[in-house]
Homo-oligomer: A and B are copies of this chain.
């Protein structure tokens, strides 16, 4: 399979890394430290895996200066070995060809416009007044509704739905099953029945964002739901209407952000974490997995909620005491909080 091959020296030069060891060492693929073959490149970023270095068969290992000092084989030294590895391994990524042009089966509204350099796959439907820009790739089974824009170089992998008024910037990647622009969950109760609040806004997604598989981003009620540039959403995430997410924020799988919440830039929201609606999280906040944010966060830092995992028997005993916590505290003379 590997037809691509590089020497350690070529890689060092191409990516600006310091070469340690044999410049002529030959690399034709990548592998994990534990299982890389004798012509593969691996990396050591997490010190937890340092013990694997001695037995590794890898031809070349990308590592930090510290780790390289005593290393007797070939290494590429990087300040951030993981980032360096990411760039090197891209050399070995199989290229997929998506020729320009529209599959014969596609159902495209006459008022929609598709750049001739775009690729439109089979079973794609594109609604009125929507636009697909240069070099965009619309994979099989995608549904693009009305008044949407797919920016240049953006890719909808497959089976993505843009419901209506969704504007994607350039080089955005949307994974299969994602639904952008569905009506937000806006309800008012009247005379004992739910009344739908029209969702007149859209969804605005900045350049270089990535939206995970089966993730949902609802359109805004009046104004737009907004993702600034370079926002990264993992799979199965729910983003409510009128949420705003600042540039470079990354959110892990199964997280949920309720309507009108505002999340700053460079935040990291952990898997299955929740953010309730109508609050603000400032820049550079980390929320750990499965934590629930119930009020605004105004200081950068790491935040958590929840309790530690225990064997079920111990957990039952301790959890039962949680119900007595206030009375226990009173008994030992502590005043209540808030």
- The residues of B that contact A326 with a CB separation of less than 8 Å are 314, 317-318, 320-321
Q: How large is the interface on A (under 10, 10 to 19, 20 to 34, 35 or more residues)?
A: 35 or more
Cβ of A246 under 8 Å from chain B = no
Which one, B83, B331, B337, contacts A323 given CB within 8 A?
Answer: B337
Whether the Cβ atoms of B322 and A309 lie closer than 8 Å is no
**Given A87-B195, A90-B198, A310-B304 in contact, is the A235-B182 Cβ separation under 8 Å?**
yes
Residue A96 lies at the interface, judged by CB distance under 8 Å to chain B: yes
Counting every copy of the chain, the complex holds 3
Distance in Å from the Cβ of A326 to the closest Cβ of chain B?
Answer: 4
Instruction: Give the residue of B145, B222, B274, B287 whose beta carbon is less than 8 angstroms from that of A31.
Output: B222
- Given A158-B145, A238-B236, A256-B254, does the pair A86, B177 have CB atoms closer than 8 Å? no
A123: contacting residue among B141, B176, B319, B322, CB under 8 A: B141
Complex interface: chain B residues within 8 A of A328 (CB): 321, 328-329, 332, 334
Expressed in whole angstroms, the Cα–Cα distance for A322 and B307 within the complex equals: 7
Give A213-272 interface residues, CB cut-off 8 Å to B: 213-214, 216, 218, 222-223, 230, 232, 234-236, 238, 240, 248, 250, 252-254, 256, 258, 271-272
A216 touches B235 (CB 8 A): yes
- Which listed residue, B89, B125, B177, B212, touches A198 by the CB 8 Å rule? B89
Shortest Cβ distance from residue A15 to the other chain B in the assembled complex, whole angstroms = 11
Q: Are A193 and B248 in touch, CB under 8 angstroms?
A: yes
Min CB distance A223 to B, Å, is 6
In the complex, the answer to whether A329 meets B321 with C-beta atoms within 8 Å is yes
* Chain B positions within 8 Å of A141 at CB level: 123, 125, 141, 143, 159, 161
Give Cα A260 to B131, complex, Å.
39
Interface readout for A289-327 with B: 1 if CB under 8 Å, 0 if not? 111111101000111111111111111111111111111
- The answer on a CB contact under 8 Å between B324 and A338 is no
Is residue A30 within 8 Å, beta carbon to beta carbon, of the partner chain? Answer: yes
Listed in ascending order, the chain A residues whose CB lies under 8 Å from chain B are: 30-32, 35, 46, 48, 80, 82-83, 85-87, 89-90, 92-94, 96, 103, 105, 107, 121-123, 125, 139-141, 143, 145-146, 157-159, 161, 163-164, 173, 175-177, 179, 182-183, 185-190, 192-198, 200, 208, 210, 212-214, 216, 218, 222-223, 230, 232, 234-236, 238, 240, 248, 250, 252-254, 256, 258, 271-272, 274, 276, 278, 286-295, 297, 301-329, 331-332, 334, 336-338
